[in-house]
Amino acid sequence: MIARFGGAAALLLFFILFIKFLAQLPGSILDAGGKAQRFTQILIVSVTILVVAVPEGLPLAVTLSLAYATTRMLKDNNLVRVLKACETMGNATTICSDKTGTLTQNRMTVIAGTLGISQRFAEKEQSSVQAESGEQDNQTEQRTTAEEPDATPMREFFCAIPKELADLLRDSVVLNSTAFEGKDDQGNKEFIGSKTETALLSMARDFLGLDDIETERQNAQVVQPIPFSSERKCMGIVVNMEMNGRRFHRLYVKGASEILLRQSAHVIDISSGGLQQHMISEWDRKSVEHTIADYASKSLRTIALVYRDFHQWPPRGVRLAPDDKTQAEFDDIFQEMVFIGVMGIMDPLRPGVTQAVEDCHKAGVFVRMVTGDNIMTAKAIAEQCGIFTPGGIVMEGPKFRTLTGVQMDQIIPRLQVLARSSPDDKRILVKRLKEMGETVAVTGDGTNDGPALKTADVGFSMGIAGTEVAKEASSIILMDDNFASIVKAIMWGRCVSDAVKKFLQVWHLKSLLKDLTLISVPIDCQRHGCWSRNGFFYCESNGRICAYGSTITLGKLDHGYFCGIGISDGSTNSRTLRPEA
């Protein structure tokens, strides 16, 4: 900033002096050499302004402040990869934060669900996750609100469902998943992978008789895997199966509940004691939508499970993949699905998140939540942690990306929650905020978050759940994946700014005192009859040097710029002053 102002001042001075030089050319008596010398003097003066604009100790002061701050930030779980990001974070005006793992603990558990239209279950027992969290009040409220009076306890519910439905649920969860089984540091078995998938696998292990996940998968004949896409918000798998002497292909899909419900034409029915299905009526569809909204309003992530059977593979009349004729295009087969049910997954807030968001607001930093969750779930979580306030706007990504530039400029200042968003929506939001003059910090953990992390002024990647691509694209790595650590980064960034300001204050004070001191030198020397020669002021009484200065000649004017500190007392014992190094 100082260099920019110095450069602007130098450029302005150069133009003023150059215009004056050109205006005096017609009546000038100087020869060509004199004119060239005068132009050179103008150039030297302009460069001098540019050089002296930046204090000589400022780069060192900034470097030392940044080095100290980055060392202390590492103790606060902020690993700084780009040094200037520390100072930039002190000037941040808005933060675009993920929800899962940053605002929440990323320790997901299935605590409620509905199979078919009305077969509901819920976990009635107190969760061990709460007991360890340390923030009992709001999380206990979150858990108890998930309980429903007409819901059956989970263990009792799954013991009573037909075996066909239990097998269908287990296969839908186990086969259509990328998570796997491993061991923790203590040697205990645990599921590793997406926390949403590990929550579903834990439910299958505890209530659906899942023993060995690798055995289940090895026994299945996978025909076509369909990886998760952030655009379609779902993933699937096609398996060759045999049941009751009949062979067929079954497509399992799990993902965003409202999207899967929209693609479903049938729903399972266990009211008669067996596994049946019937067409979804308008009343059925509204009932499921109400269930999804109910779970989402209680801060639960909703995941739906659907399936569809095919007599042959690839099915007739569908488009085939260009690179493999045995693979079908997902959009052509993802229709007329059979709706199995919807699961409500709880992810408790991190301890201290609410206070951290409040601290950001007090510091003048606007916090926004950008998540791929259901809009109702995102809004409920945002209300709990203080991000969503009265008058704020909650919007879904597909609608946001269709807005014009003018509409975005009107909505973004009040936009607090962006739900069902894709990584590209996050990038668009960050880019637009920067165009509006904001200093933007953004969090990301996935490979697709790389463009948004690069676009932002400061990108935060997750040290635990983040991918290597996200870490390489970020400026700072959150070692604990905690939003509260971002607040500490803001604090240290502002400490760096304060240190630089204090240095400049001291430097300007020193310069002011030096100038005031040296102004008295010519007056004092004139009073005692001192005389100057070659930039030195000599005392007339004893001929000793009493001050030192430098003379810059511009045209016919001589301007003295003093580089020393100190004055002569005008006596015979006046000291010799040395110029400031």
- Active site positions, annotated: 98
Radius of gyration of the chain measured on its C-alpha atoms = 35
Count of CB atoms within 10 A of residue 120's CB?
19
Place of tokens 């509901």: 120
**415-419/366-370 β-pairing:** parallel
Residue reference for tokens 């007991």: 131
Contacts 24+ apart (CB under 8 A), 519-528: 520/567, 521/546, 521/547, 521/549, 521/562, 521/567, 521/568, 522/560, 524/567, 524/568, 524/570, 525/568, 527/570, 528/568, 528/570
d(CA 480, CA 462): 7
CB 112 within 8 A of CB 300: yes
482 near 101, Cβ under 8 Å?
no
CA distance 69 to 93: 20
| 541 in Cβ contact with 530 (< 8 Å) | no
**Which candidate, 478, 447, 448, places its Cα nearest to that of 461?**
478
- At residue 101, the 3 state secondary structure works out as coil
> Where are the alpha helices (H) located in 299-422, listed in sequence order?
330-333, 353-362, 375-385, 397-400, 405-411
Burial of 344 by CB count in 10 Å (0-12 exposed, 13-18 middle, 19+ buried)? buried
For the beta carbon of residue 365, count every other beta carbon within 10 angstroms: 19
